[in-house]
Structure 1
Amino acid sequence: MASNFNNINLVAQENTKRLQKTIPDTMKSFKALQDSAYKAGALDEKTKEFAALSFAIADKCEGCIGNHVNKLIKLGATREEIAEIAGVAIVMGGGPGSVYGGKALQAYDDSTDA
């Protein structure tokens, strides 16, 4: 049985495909912006993904949480690192950050069967 965050990721990916088909120029530009912003520079890619995850938690974007957690897993992030970033997001996002910080750990657990 697929996990909650696996389903959220699948739905988000399908919705992105809908947008790519309907507004291809906008989505190509958005993808180029993403590629540029996440490219390693003064900060490495993993650090940038942690920053993105903290915003995803604070902004309560489940699709974003799943996406950035999956990218962080590929970059070698641990569950403990995800938890610490959730802690930072809780400070920045207050009570809602604590709820969505737990969702980030759920996304990690769902993606790794921890």
Structure 2
Amino acid sequence: MAHFNEINTTAQGNTKKLQKSIPDTMKSFKNLQDAAYAPGALDKKTKEFAALAYAIADKCEGCIGNHVNKLIKLGASREEIAEIAGVAIVMGGGPGSVYGGKALQAYDDAMEDQ
């Protein structure tokens, strides 16, 4: 099983390749991300939890690693990640239980490096 730091590094490298190949599209995507995650009626942490739940349900390992790392910086605990995994399991069915575990693995992997 891949360590989430490796998954994150690969995902970031692939994103950089896209940024070089289609810079205008990727800049527009980044602007969309910045707008969507900006604090408003919901704070950044809440929005990141929503993104993580979707990443788990959609089985996107790169997304899981990315959002877990952002949540760690926003002060999320392992218990909060576990509860969001529970929500994702409800929304994503059985596969959510497998990828919810991956979110906890991502958290544990990231905390090893701190």
**1:67 pairs with 2:66:** yes
- AA paired with 1:63? G
- The residue number in structure 2 matching 1:82 is 81
Match of 2:106 in 1: 107
**Residue in 2 aligned with 1:29?**
28
Please, which runs of 5 or more residues in structure 2 have no aligned partner? none
Count the aligned residue pairs. Answer: 112
Shift of 1:113: 2.2
Q: Which amino acid aligns with 1:99?
A: V
Alpha-carbon shift at residue 90 of structure 1 (Å):
0.3
How far, CA to CA, are the matches of 1:26 and 1:94 in structure 2? 33
Q: Give the distance between the partners of 2:82 and 2:112, measured in 1 at CA.
A: 16
**Structure 2 CA distance for aligned equivalents of residues 59 and 94 of structure 1:** 11
Task: Provide the identity percentage.
Answer: 82
- Residue 14 of structure 1 is matched in structure 2 by 13
Report the aligned-residue RMSD: 1.1
Residue aligned with 1:42, SS:
coil
Q: CA–CA distance in 1 between the matches of 2:78 and 2:52? A: 13
- Give TM-score, length-normalised by structure 2: 0.96
Q: Runs of 5+ in structure 1 lacking a partner?
A: none
Q: Match for 1:84: what amino acid?
A: E
The one-letter amino acid paired with 2:52 is L
Match of 1:91 in 2: 90
Q: Deviations over 1:22-59 (max 9, x none)?
A: 00000000000000000000000000000000000000
Task: Give the drift of 1:72.
Answer: 0.1
Q: Name segments (4+ residues, structure 1) moved above 6 Å.
A: none
TM-score (norm 1): 0.96
CA separation in 1, counterparts of 2:3 and 2:39? 31
